[in-house]
Amino acid sequence: MDFAVFSKTEMEEMFQAMVEHMPEDMKELSIKEFGSVEQWKEHYMEVISREEMQKNYAKVVEWYGGKEEYLSVAKNPVSKEVADSYMKRIEAILEKMITKIGCPVDSFEVKELVAEYGFVMKQFSQMKEERGMMLSVAHSYQDARVRSKIDEKYGEGAADYFTEAIKAFYK
């Protein structure tokens, strides 16, 4: 395996931290899917050792301001209660943003909401810089499955509007 960003030991530590902080129901589903924790870990190590995944990790490490900063967050994630609180705040921001769907994406009202969204995401993820992550979020809204869920929840065209608003803000 070629670990371009993280060593094998670091990736094993990340897997262990993920398992330790994962809700029990998700852990049980993963074990059921892979057969055992060992087989799940083997799959995880195989996937994250791929060149494309390592390139993605290199970007994420940059967003966090360095490898040590990323590893610290990965090993010490926010609590479920804190995560739920951030998710509610993000949902409230998107609810406000969809009411602006008739406004230009470069209008003050829309920019203000995107700035708040970026700030909340930065705090939630504990990143040093949110621009790359927010552009990645915008990109994810164009995935067919994500687009469908976003449009179903916020209304037809929501995913495209959110994408364009985020891109306009972070250009």
**Contact status, residue 37 vs residue 31, Cβ threshold 8 Å:** yes
Q: What is the four-CA torsion angle of 107, 113, 117, 123, rounded to 10 degrees?
A: 110
- What pLDDT score was predicted for residue 54? 86
Taken in order 29, 141, 65, 46, the sign of the CA dihedral is positive
> Which domains occur in the chain, in start order?
8-75 (no CATH), 80-170 (1.10.490)
> So what's the pLDDT on residue 167?
98
Q: Is the pLDDT of residue 113 over 80?
A: yes
CA 24 to chain centre: 21
Whole-angstrom distance, CA of residue 29 vs CA of residue 15: 16
Task: Render pLDDT for 31-65 as a digit per residue (tens, 0 to 9).
Answer: 999 999 999 999 999 998 888 888 888 889 999 99
State the average pLDDT over residues 8-22: 90
Please compute the mean of the pLDDT values over residues 155-164 and round it to a whole number: 97
**Which of 47-51, 105-109, 130-134 shows the lowest per-residue confidence on average (mean pLDDT)?**
47-51
Residue 4 has pLDDT above 80, yes or no: no
User: CB neighbours (10 Å) of residue 93?
Assistant: 19
Report pLDDT for 1: 44
Average pLDDT, whole number, for the chain? 92
- The yes-or-no verdict on residue 3 having pLDDT over 60 is no
Percent over 90 (pLDDT), the chain: 67
**pLDDT of amino acid 168:** 97
Rounded average pLDDT over 87-104? 96
Residue 80 binned pLDDT confidence (cut-offs 50, 70, 90): confident
User: What is the rounded average pLDDT of the residues 20-36?
Assistant: 89
